[in-house]
Amino acid sequence: MAVVSDPDRRLRGTAVIGGRLVGTVVGIRDGHIVSLEADDPRPAADRVGDDLVIAPGFIDVHVHGGVGVDVTEGPAAIARLAAALATRGVTSFVPTAVSAPLAELAAFAAAVSTARLAAEASDAGGPGTRRPVRRRATANAGPSARILGANLEGPAIDPAHRGAHDPAAIVDPAVLAVAWRERPGDWSEVRAVTLAPERPGGLDLVRLLAGRRVVASIGHTGATFAEAEAAYRAGATSTTHLFNAMSGLDHRAPGTAAAALADGRAFAELIADGSHVDRALWPLLWRILGPRLLLVSDGIAAVGVGDGSFRLGGGTITVRGGRATRPDGTLAGSTITVADAVANLVAAGLTLPRAVAAATLAPARLLRRRGLGRIAVGAAADLVLLDAAGLVRRTMIGGAWLDETA
């Protein structure tokens, strides 16, 4: 069905709403969705043309970089990534650092805060709102992806499951908990932390984070099934890149991955690039996890650049054929965006609404951002137009199309 836009910003077409494809007219004002009217789902003869679907913009809660920059390089790098992600249909993201000394991570969190505040200050409409008219008046290109705080992947992880992380930076969860209690201001920008709950002080750190509404995500861990279960009970609400850097699904020794699938409440991140988890498992994961399936990119600086050598957490990563590895062959993040992940899930047989939900509603629920990740009255007008393969054709952030403001 064709999607047309008239002057008072009403989009008529098929939209992903409530997990279904619905013929709808989406009314937009001041950066938000202000009305949803039922539309005849049968395409009228004069509107048949483009085969596009209106979906919420994608949210990536786990991304280290892209277009040649790493988010730990400072506010300008974060802003550059925000602009690049927007052109690919990612309308919000959580810049993510790998394990590093605590002082460096505190500086990273401060840089994320600086970048976020600068982006919000350039919005005319205040927090969460972007007004296209004022944006056009600035010298910058179009709207950028929203920055939703910082994500710390480590350093309170298991050295034996460190993957590409610097072993010298790893600390016990108890050490991070002390730093959090002594200098809470250092961590106020942090929205998510990956940790190994079986390490000393692990459950205490989970409770500390949960009590401060910070996502505790189990990952880079040697936790047994029972230890992982205990962490979910203590308040962990997510699982970092399921199956990777954790014990798996051995039927006689079920590990963290089995506990994540069995939990019933916690989200589980999937890097749907075909390297981290075999494609044959993706539909099965959806059947088990349903709305708890959380697409992330785990993208590194190489995203959108191609093959070559890149920095990640003080180490060198080589990318060949889109596969990012350390010198010893360990996988080190991906070279996809979360928009690519959606299209990959569709290619693997998931329906478009299901694939979209894993990159929109799921991350918004994880971060408790009711105003994002859904097409609903009152939500931000962050939208993408997708073709039948799930590929992004156009992106709107805060009511402004990117190609109108560029």
Residues in contact with Zn ion by the rule CB under 5 A: 153, 298
Question: Per DSSP, which regions of 180-228 are E strands?
Answer: 190-195, 215-218
Cα distance between residue 63 and residue 284, in whole Å: 25
What backbone phi and psi angles, to 5 degrees, belong to 168?
A: -70, -20
Residue 273: name the closest of 246, 305, 247, 303 by CA. 303
Question: Residue 375 carries which DSSP code?
Answer: -
Nearest approach in angstroms of CB 164 to Zn ion is 8
- Please report the DSSP string for 203-264 in residue order: HHHHHHHHHTTPEEEE-S---BHHHHHHHHHHT--EESSTTTTS----SSS-BHHHHHHHHS
Reported as half-sphere exposure (CB side, CA atoms, 13 A), residue 350 has a value of 31
| Residue number with CB closer to Zn ion (75 or 154) | 154
| Residue number with CB closer to Zn ion (245 or 339) | 245
93: which residues sit within 8 A by CB, 6+ positions away? Answer: 59, 60, 61, 63, 81, 82, 85, 145, 146, 147, 148
| Residue number with CB closer to Zn ion (92 or 96) | 96
| Residue number with CB closer to Zn ion (153 or 227) | 153
| Residue number with CB closer to Zn ion (23 or 154) | 154
Nearest approach in angstroms of CB 342 to Zn ion is 19
Which residue among the candidates 39, 273, 298, 340 is catalytic per the annotation? 298
Nearest approach in angstroms of CB 191 to Zn ion is 15
Nearest approach in angstroms of CB 299 to Zn ion is 9
| Residue number with CB closer to Zn ion (39 or 153) | 153
Nearest approach in angstroms of CB 286 to Zn ion is 22
Nearest approach in angstroms of CB 143 to Zn ion is 26
Contact 123, 136 (CB under 8 A): no
What backbone phi and psi angles, to 5 degrees, belong to 82?
A: -60, -40
Cα distance between residue 147 and residue 37, in whole Å: 30
Residue 318 CB-density burial (10 A; 0-12 exposed, 13-18 middle, 19+ buried)? middle
Q: Is residue 298 among the annotated active site residues?
A: yes
By beta-carbon distance, which residue lies closest to Zn ion? 298
Catalytic residue positions? 298
